[in-house]
Amino acid sequence: MVVDRFTWLKINAVGRILDVGSAGAHTFGGRAVNLDLDLYHVPNFVRGDAHNLPFVDNSFDTVCLGDVLEHVDDPLRVLLEAKRVAKLILITVPDEKDRYLERMMSEVYESDDPELHRKAVEKWIRDNRPVEIIDDKKRPHLFHRRFFTEQELIDLLEKAGLEYEIQHVDYGIYRGWYIKAWRKEDAQKKEQGSEG
């Protein structure tokens, strides 16, 4: 049985958790440190950028990147930052390659019209929960910037120097990948310890 992505993140996260791109902290609530580029009024919130996490090395046991990589400028940099601050990285990524017209992948995604983007963000805020969208002089980070195939994800994980388990899931309203990743050096140390 496949569980939904929020439950999957919850049951696999261990120890001290950083939820990157947490938005309204729906997955972990106050159980995690919630980080987002926009300003949310939720427990344990830190405003920050996934490309430059404002934490020292090894600050967390688990970093969660729940449907984040498709939104960021540089997914490799985000993975390297997650790897720097935690041993375990939990990742969910939607599989939308053949679902081009789904809700978030509208004409807004393909348009270079900043006014269309601004109106779409404002509509999303009106229709959902209040949040302060930060004007970072770039395309609004609300919308997906890229699609991933499974091979592209594998290549990205390899480039980041991560060991991983990847599973394609489909539970009706969501199709995508669940990925558990950890530092290769940690896996090697563990193997060496069990051999001795």
DSSP state at residue 31? G
Q: How far apart are CA 84 and CA 52, in angstroms?
A: 10
* Helix axes 75-85 and 150-159, enclosed angle (nearest 10): 50
- CATH level 3 topology of 5-96+145-195: Rossmann fold (3.40.50)
The CB density around residue 30, as the number of other CB atoms within 10 Å, is 11
pLDDT in tens, 12-52: 999 999 999 988 788 998 899 999 887 778 889 998 999 99
Q: How far apart are CA 44 and CA 19, in angstroms?
A: 10
pLDDT in tens, 46-66: 989 999 999 999 999 999 999
Regarding beta strands 162-170 and 86-94, do their DSSP bridges make them parallel or antiparallel, or are they unpaired?
unpaired
Q: How far apart are CA 27 and CA 8, in angstroms?
A: 10
**What does the mean pLDDT of the chain come to?**
80
Once rounded to an integer, what is the mean pLDDT over residues 76-84?
A: 98
Listed range (69-78, 83-92, 110-119, 170-179) with the worst mean pLDDT: 110-119
Residue 55 region by backbone torsions, left for phi larger than 0, else alpha for psi between -120 and 50, else beta: beta
pLDDT in tens, 91-145: 999 987 554 434 444 445 455 566 665 666 566 555 554 444 544 444 444 566 6
Evaluated on CA atoms 159, 162, 165, 166, the torsion sign reads negative
Query: Sheet harboring 17-20: ordered strands across?
Result: 45-47, 33-36, 17-20, 60-66, 86-94, 175-183, 162-170
**Domain map of the chain by residue range?**
5-96+145-195
The CB density around residue 77, as the number of other CB atoms within 10 Å, is 15
Contacts of residue 116, defined as CB under 8 A and 6 or more positions apart, other chains included, come to 107, 108
Taking the chain, what is the end-to-end CA distance rounded to the nearest angstrom?
A: 37
Element (H, E) at 61: strand 60-66
pTM: 0.78
Q: How far apart are CA 2 and CA 178, in angstroms?
A: 10
Report whether 179 contacts 165 (CB < 8 A): yes
Tokens of 82: 């997650």
